[in-house]
Structure formats: structure tokens, C-alpha cells
Amino acid sequence: MSLLQGQISDNVVDYLSNQVGTQDKEKTQIATSSIVSTLIGALAKNASTPEGAQSLNNALERDHDGGILENLIGSLSGNAQPQQQKSLDGAGILSHLLGDKQQGATQMISKTSGLDSGKVLNLMTMLAPIVMGVLGKTKQQQGLNTGDLMSLLQNTRQNQESQNPMMGLVTRFLDSDGDGSIMDDVAGMVGGFFRKR
């Protein structure tokens, strides 16, 4: 998480705000934080089985070595081309990680941040390659195998759940059966969460 937060600097948040067409950088910041929590939660859920962890490990080895992080804004804007072109396929990453929960996740993050769903989806598409790039770079630097990846993601999710109310909400959302009631919980929790701050 600290590696990820280091990548998402004020300059990157400014760039993302401009790309999605909002002047409200605080909303972009809240949405960005919520999106990162959601993607980490989805990665942890997908990697909670040996098959899922192996699939993630293969994807990281093949498509995500962290190269996009060397010139992040250049990579996101298309001005710098990383060696692995698939590392920039945000829509593909989201589809794989979230599946039929993508629309619900977009709505949930829209409610938490106040950004409309279209802007949230654009942000998600830009942030997904960053999350995968950081995970791929961590795997390379620390020589992580499939089991290590499973442990890393589960531990990260658990640590975040104790520090970050959004992660608990994400876990419930990802485990829900999609009946819509979780969205009522989101509205209630978000109101309370942001009033307390």
C-alpha cells in the first residue's frame, strides 16, 4: 500500500482530475483511494484460491513487470510506451478482476466520492494498470511465488480493513450476492464516515 500511495502523488491526482474533467481534486482523491481499496480487495478475493493465485501470478509475469511506473504520466497519456502493451489495458484488468460486479463497484465509489459514475469508471480504467504495475514490481523485487502473492494480498486486505472503513465495505460488497441491499449500506455508511471526518 505504501508503494501504491507513493505512485499516486499530487501530480498524478492533478493529471487524473484533468483527464476525467473535474476541478474538485478532493473528490478525485477520495475516489482514487476508494478505487485502490476496491482493486486490492478484488485481487485478494481472486487470489484466495490456488487457481486464482496462479492465474494472477501468470498475468503478472506476462504483462505487468512495473515498467509503466518508470514514467507513469507518460504511460497513462500514451506519450511513453512500456514494453508490455497489455500492462495499460485498464478495461481488460477491470473486467477480469470485477466481472459482473464492475457496475456495482462504480456506483459504490461514485457514492463515496461524489464523482459521477462515468468519471469514476474512467478513473478506475486509469488506476487498474497502476495497481497491477505496483504488484508486478513487488513480485519481481521480492521474488514472490504464487503462495507469497496469496499471503501478501490477504495480509494487505486485512491490514486495510482495520485501518480503512472503505476496505470493510469493499469486502462485503465483493462477497455480496448482488441483490442491491449493499448499496443502501454504502449510502448509510458513507454519510456517517464523511460526517465524522
What does the pLDDT read at residue 179? 52
* Distant-in-sequence contacts of 95-103, Cβ < 8 A, 24+ apart: 96/59, 97/39, 97/42, 97/43, 97/46, 97/128, 98/38, 98/42, 100/178, 101/42, 101/173, 101/174, 101/178
What does the pLDDT read at residue 56? 95
H-type alpha helices, the chain: 2-7, 10-20, 25-46, 50-63, 72-77, 90-98, 102-113, 117-142, 146-163, 165-175, 181-196
Q: How many domains does the chain have?
A: 1
What does the pLDDT read at residue 190? 53
What does the pLDDT read at residue 195? 41
What does the pLDDT read at residue 31? 95
Give this prediction's pTM.
Answer: 0.89
Q: Which domain holds residue 86?
A: 2-196
Low-confidence ranges of the chain (pLDDT < 50): 191-197
What does the pLDDT read at residue 197? 38
What does the pLDDT read at residue 193? 46
What does the pLDDT read at residue 164? 85
Q: Which of 183, 127, 129, 189 is nearest to 164 (CA)?
A: 189
Instruction: Tell the residue number behind the cell numbers 485481487, with chain if given.
Output: 43
Q: How far apart are CA 56 and CA 12, in angstroms?
A: 26
